Amino acid sequence: MTLGRHVLAATWLPLLHDALVEQGSLRLPLRGNSMLPTLPQECEIEVVPLSGPPEVGDLIVFVAGDSLVAHRLVRRDGGRLIAQGDHRLGPDRPLTPDQILGRVAGAFVAAQRIWPTPWARRMAWLWQVRYQVLRAARFAVRPLRRLRRRSSRPYA
């Protein structure tokens, strides 16, 4: 979901958070393909307030710039949270807890609940393993890239 670029998140996030707490849940339209195949490109997600810290594997809704984003929490790093879309190869920028609006409790297409499925928890585990494998690959490739750059420099 994208809101107008002229409205700062610091203005509307507290209002949206208050509405979420008061109502108990909100349904928001989801756009984009970053959560494929877990969630389709266009569906409605039901967001509920957090009842404690989000767990690794949860789908969370957070503010990134001036937009709301729904991605999976894949890691905790001290006080920072790392999220990543299931269809993305890399993680989002680290989050702070005050950026999180809530947790995705369900997804709907044409008013029919499509998520979570009975396999949702197991699939969440697989997405977390995928994140760790890609993370390890990124760390392994860094020294190789540095070595490659050094070896491709012309001799003086």
* Tens digits of residue pLDDT in 105-155: 999 999 999 999 999 989 999 999 999 999 998 888 877 777 777 766 666
pLDDT for the residue numbered 1: 37
Closest listed residue to residue 98, CA positions, set 27, 30, 4, 14 = 14
Residue 87's contacts (CB-CB under 8 Å, 6 or more residues apart) are 33, 34, 35, 36, 37
User: Which tens digits make up the pLDDT trace of 15-43?
Assistant: 999 999 999 999 999 999 999 999 999 99
Residue 109's contacts (CB-CB under 8 Å, 6 or more residues apart) are 40, 42, 43, 44
- In the chain, the domains with their CATH numbers are 9-152 (2.10.109.10)
> Does the structure show a pLDDT above 50 at 2?
no
